[in-house]
Chains A and B, each alone.
Chain A
Amino acid sequence: MTYFMLLTVNGLVIGLIYALMAAGLTLVFSVLKVVNFGHGSFYMLGGYAAYYAIGLLGVPPLVGVFIAMVALFLFGVAIEWLALQPMYTGKVERKDEYAIIVTFGLTILLTNLALVVFGPFSKSPPAFLQGTFIAGPLILPYDRLIAAAVAVVLLVALAWFLARTSLGQALDAVSQSRESAAVIGINPKRMYTVAFGLGSALAGGAGALIAPIFALSPNMGELPGVQAFIIIVLGGMGSVSGSIIGGILLGVVQGLGVGFLPDPNRALAYTQAFGALLLIFVLLVRPTGLFGRAHTRLE
């Protein structure tokens, strides 16, 4: 029972942080109709941004997370302006392909650039709080607990932002129909920029939260990137609440799969497969994910 509980709690915690990253990805998708294959590298950059903010500016770790989010927001805006705007200013055709290639090229560029600039050796920012939280049979390192808590706060804030503020509602309007939004006076291009910046900030925040828990390395975003894709499809693309549930589901299923598959060696070797299998199963049953709207193209 303890074993089961520990696995579930751990999966929940990690899943929440991945959900944060996935929420950013799904936001970008829902507004821009673009799957950002470079999302994993924003996560990585967020981690390094926090590391350097803490190291060079001497700020406490949580402030470092905030700085990372701001930095990645600005970076996302810049990338959107430089690389993605041509998609909807009529300069390119076949926007789906353009988005895939450009974001994929971005991943290669950023990962290898990070390797050159930050170097190949692992870095580790200081912990949010040293030590482990122990309550009866429950064992949870403080870092994970705090990171999960911050992730929850950010996700709740995001949901509130999308539902209650005019900017958030404008984003939602554009995600539903760009033309109708334009009709009522919302500038879709500005919304694209905001959405992309926000999505990048969320990825960066996730990376900054993870940084003290795991290590920083230039290719640390690869696997979480794939997991983010799995999560947003699980939850249904374009649905922020879907990605939250998807993230938690992925984290928990993975943990339990590892813990309970009969052959221990296979259980561990196939850790990544549990999420993939979950995805396959969900899509076979519900082709647009758990809470997704049908896929629409960028108009």
Chain B
Amino acid sequence: MTNRISFSHGLQALLLAAALLAPLIAGPYWIHVGALAWYYAMLASSWSLLAGYAGQFSFAQVAFAAFGGYASALLRLRLGLPLILAVAAAVIMAMILGALMGALVLRLSGPYLALFTLATAEIFRLILVAEEDVTRGSLGLQVPGLFSGDSDLPYYYLGLSLVVLTLLAMNGLLFTRIGLFLRAIREDESAAQASGVNTTLHKIVVFVVTSGIAALAGAYYGHFVGILTPNMVILPEMGLVIAMAVIGGIESLPGAVVGAVIVYGLSEMLRDYGEWRFVLLGLVLILVQRFAQNGLFPFLERHFDRPMPLPSPTRNALDIEGEHVNLS
């Protein structure tokens, strides 16, 4: 029986309102944390699309983010391109690389695909470290800020708008035929192929879209934090993104956003525990998976209007049977 949270439009509007208003009560530290959380939110939700909807368990998401960050920064710094142009160019380049990646992994599945993408991410990280003449290696590439003044508020709202925009874009995609075909592919690829779905094209399209979003997120991150280092691409960072997507509900894009906010917020809250901070985080991840794999937000589901499920892929017949509406 699944208790999967379905994010009705009402619920999403509520969460958006909460995010918009949060800075009023939050204070500068949590605004800063929120602004960082939006970076992870974009990565987690796009990864949800890639892995949850298209079944491509890729470990390269953070690498695309780093690519976007470094490329846009270098285009600005070295070639003097204006901000929008530099970011757009970086996103487009990332999308091309994403298409390439999608094409390369076509014949791979499951853990083979995961490790292939992990290998490419590692190589990219090594390039960032080794080619210090271009990237400044581990010293980090400094990126000029976007807003003057000392408040993080503009970054917070910029990040939030980017999250909303990318969610809208991804949802838009899902409501088209492409989305329909993606779900078909995920449920049973051979059947989909037999029915004439161009699985190749669709898998590549998803890679293109999600790497573009990741690159955008990376560009945002670079301009907010002010410095990019190859440590963005280490395995624990990718693991964190996966954890956020899974905790939020791997088959729900808004869920991934919520998961990102929760997990990142949690890792900051645990600072009070000093050296036990990450021990506890690891423990929490395990316990949440063990005891609340689906039911992380049942209370949300119970208290708002009747969930109208967004297109969410179902695993098999059993799930459709088991899905129920929980009204109180």
Contact = CB atoms under 8 A, between A and B. Distances in A.
Interface of A: 29, 35, 37, 83, 86, 91-94, 96-98, 100-102, 104-113, 115-116, 222, 226, 229-230, 233, 237, 265-266, 269-270, 272-273, 275-277, 279-280, 283-284, 287-289, 295, 297
A285 to B, nearest CB: 10
Given A100-B242, A101-B246, A116-B276, A279 B115 contact: yes
B126 A270 contact: yes
Given A101-B289, A273-B122, A277-B123, A107 B282 contact: yes
Given A106-B282, A233-B112, A283-B108, A226 B118 contact: yes
Contacts of B250: 94, 97
Contacts of B293: 92-94, 97-98
The DSSP consensus for interface residues of chain A is: helix
Contacts of A91: 290
A279 B126 contact: no
Contact of A112 (B242, B278, B289): B278
Would you list the 6 A-B pairs with minimal beta carbon distance, nearest first? A109-B282, A105-B285, A108-B282, A269-B130, A276-B119, A112-B278
A112 B283 CA distance: 11
A277 to B, nearest CB: 7
Nearest to B107: A287
B243 A105 contact: yes
Given A97-B250, A101-B289, A105-B283, A283 B112 contact: yes
B285 A229 contact: no
Contact of A105 (B112, B116, B119, B286): B286
B275 interface: yes
Contact of B112 (A92, A108, A237): A237
A105 B315 contact: no
Interface string B246-281: 110010000000000000000000000001111101
A230 B235 CA distance: 14
B289 A280 contact: no
Interface residues on B, range: 35 or more
Contact of A86 (B57, B109, B111, B290): B290
B286 A102 contact: yes
Nearest to A229: B115
A113 B126 CA distance: 28
A26 B115 CA distance: 14
Nearest to A281: B119
A289 B112 contact: yes
B129 interface: yes
Contact of B129 (A102, A237, A269, A287): A269
24 contacts: A83-B290, A96-B57, A97-B250, A101-B285, A102-B290, A104-B243, A105-B282, A105-B286, A108-B279, A108-B285, A109-B286, A112-B277, A115-B275, A116-B275, A226-B235, A230-B119, A233-B111, A233-B115, A233-B116, A237-B111, A270-B126, A272-B122, A283-B115, A289-B112
Contacts of A108: 236, 239, 278-279, 281-282, 285
Nearest to A108: B282
B242 A109 contact: no
A280 B112 contact: no
A276 B276 contact: no
Nearest to A278: B119
B104 interface: yes
Interface of B: 2, 57, 104, 107-112, 114-116, 118-120, 122-123, 126, 129-130, 235-236, 239, 242-243, 246-247, 250, 275-279, 281-286, 289-290, 293-294, 315
A108 B279 CA distance: 6
Contacts of A273: 122-123, 126
Contact of B246 (A100, A106, A111, A284): A100
Given A230-B115, A233-B111, A284-B104, A222 B130 contact: no
Contacts of A276: 119-120, 122-123
A181 B283 CA distance: 34
Given A92-B289, A93-B294, A94-B293, A295 B110 contact: yes
Nearest to A236: B112
B239 A37 contact: yes
Nearest to A105: B285
Nearest to A91: B290
Nearest to B1: A93
A295 B109 contact: yes
A37 to B, nearest CB: 7
A96 B115 CA distance: 15
Contacts of B278: 108-109, 111-112
Contacts of B104: 284
Contacts of B130: 265-266, 269-270
Contact of A226 (B122, B281, B282, B286): B122
Given A92-B293, A109-B279, A288-B112, A272 B126 contact: yes
A297 B315 CA distance: 13
Contacts of B126: 269-270, 272-273
A46 B116 CA distance: 28
Contacts of A83: 286, 290
A40 to B, nearest CB: 10
A205 to B, nearest CB: 23
A294 to B, nearest CB: 8
A51 B283 CA distance: 26
Contacts of B283: 105, 109
Contact of B315 (A94, A111, A266): A94
A110 B278 CA distance: 9
A104 B107 CA distance: 26
